[in-house]
């Protein structure tokens, strides 16, 4: 009687070993002071940095959503890891955290070492950009859960902040200025709408060259989410920053109020926003209202910084030095939520 092995059930242990060997060189690029363990241990270890009087760990976890389906259809897996890191690290950086380390989780139908390497390379690229270490992760091969070419990706980021310096928006007052930092594209939100509209309803192919976009549709949609760690760091060092909002799922209407105390609203002049061509294209193809667009997408602004009026110029100058074309978007007034002046 033939021996029944784990491989017969669809799980290839040897492929798992190969994947680990392939990603080691990429993980090594992310090493930062504080890393105490390499790949292979039961847990990743990181030493808490010295010099903090009251250190607070700030953590965030997220995935990439259905943007993964675009990557899988395009067979392009080397940037989706950047998205995963960005979605996690941007959130914790908004509260003033210095990123420390990252963990990733990949679930797949079949462990293809080349694909796993591409995904993790992207994760490592994101970690380098976010100034943090990849200290561990998991790749789970689950043939009964996913088809052979399918995978899911999620991540977990941890940073540290001095308790007295946490950015929580509590000291924002009427008259404070709202500054916008540009996005790189759709980032990693709203892809269920994008796919349903452009691929299912309008029957576009991801390999279609779109004149208005200057590239293949799939390439534009896969533009990695921008990582704002350096921009936020520069703004904080300039002084006067009271709140930061990462514009993710829920767009302007959901995310900006998260950075504001009760009784105050953000009044934003959308004419100040350089709307990216991809959003113009989506809105035109779907005949989508402005309210729906600003409720779903970042519209070209991936980060908003709320600063005192007297420090506005210093923050803008610091962001410019960090390579960002930031713009003044509006002001904080009495009220609730967000008021978009179009």
Read off the CATH number of the domain in which 91 is found. Answer: 3.30.1330.10
Cα 162 to chain centroid, rounded? 23
Q: How far apart are alpha carbons 115 and 238 in whole angstroms?
A: 42
DSSP 3-state assignment of 152? Answer: strand
| 55 and 138 housed in the same domain | yes
Number of structural domains found in the chain:
2
The Cα 286–Cα 315 span in angstroms is 37
Q: Residue 283 belongs to a domain with what CATH number?
A: 3.90.650.10
Give the end of a domain, one of 142, 165, 188. 165
| Residue where the block lists tokens 């976010």 | 130
Q: Is residue 231 part of a domain?
A: yes
The pair of structure tokens assigned to 99 is 């990123």
CA dihedral 21, 26, 28, 34 (to 10 degrees): -120
The whole-angstrom separation of Cα 224 and Cα 185 is 8
Tell me if 1 is assigned to some domain.
Answer: no
Over its length of 342 residues, how does the chain's per-residue pLDDT go in tens digits? 778 777 877 777 888 888 888 999 999 999 999 999 877 788 999 999 999 999 999 999 999 999 999 999 999 999 999 999 999 999 999 999 999 999 999 999 999 999 999 999 999 999 999 999 999 999 999 999 999 999 999 999 999 999 999 999 999 999 999 999 999 999 999 999 999 999 999 999 999 999 999 999 999 999 999 999 999 999 999 999 999 999 999 999 999 999 999 999 999 999 999 999 999 999 999 999 999 999 999 999 999 999 999 999 999 999 999 999 999 999 999 999 999 986
Structure-block tokens of residue 168 = 């929580």
Which tokens hold the place of 289? Answer: 């209202």
In the numeric block, which tokens belong to residue 28? 């090594």
Domain extent at residue 275: 177-341
12 lies in the same domain as 160: yes
Q: What is the predicted pLDDT for the residue at 342? A: 60
Flag whether 329 is in a domain: yes
Listed in sequence order, the residues at least 6 apart from 32 whose beta carbon sits closer than 8 Å to its beta carbon are: 100, 131, 132, 133
């Amino acid at each position: 009687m033939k021996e029944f092995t784990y491989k017969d059930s669809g799980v290839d242990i040897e492929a798992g070993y190969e994947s680990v060997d392939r990603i080691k060189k990429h993980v090594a690029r992310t090493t930062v002071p504080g890393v105490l363990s390499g790949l292979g241990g039961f847990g990743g270890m990181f030493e808490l940095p010295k010099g903090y009087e009251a250190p607070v760990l700030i953590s965030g976890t997220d995935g990439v959503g259905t943007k993964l389906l675009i990557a899988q259809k395009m067979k392009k897996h080397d940037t989706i890891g950047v998205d995963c890191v960005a979605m996690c690290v941007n959130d914790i950086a908004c509260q003033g955290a210095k990123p420390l380390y990252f963990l990733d989780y990949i679930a797949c139908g079949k462990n293809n070492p080349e694909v796993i390497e591409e995904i993790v390379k992207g994760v490592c690229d994101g970690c380098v950009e976010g100034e943090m270490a990849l200290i561990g992760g998991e790749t789970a091969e689950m043939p009964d859960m996913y088809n052979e070419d399918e995978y899911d990706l999620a991540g977990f980021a941890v940073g540290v902040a001095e308790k007295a310096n946490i950015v929580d928006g509590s000291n924002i007052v009427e008259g404070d200025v709202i500054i916008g930092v540009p996005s790189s594209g759709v980032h990693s939100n709203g892809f269920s709408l994008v796919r349903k509209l452009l691929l299912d309803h309008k029957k576009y192919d991801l390999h279609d060259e779109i004149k208005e976009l200057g590239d293949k549709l799939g390439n534009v949609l896969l533009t990695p989410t921008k990582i704002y760690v350096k921009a936020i760091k520069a703004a904080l060092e300039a002084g006067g920053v009271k709140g930061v909002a990462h514009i993710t799922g829920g767009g302007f209407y959901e995310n900006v109020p998260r950075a504001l105390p009760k009784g105050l609203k953000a009044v934003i002049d959308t004419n100040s926003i350089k709307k990216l061509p991809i959003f113009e294209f989506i809105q035109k193809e779907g005949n989508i209202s402005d309210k729906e667009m600003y409720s779903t997408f970042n519209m070209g602004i991936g980060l908003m910084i709320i600063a005192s009026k007297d420090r506005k110029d210093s923050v803008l100058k610091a962001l410019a030095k960090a390579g960002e074309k930031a713009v003044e978007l509006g002001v904080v007034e009495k009220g609730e939520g967000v008021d978009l002046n179009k």
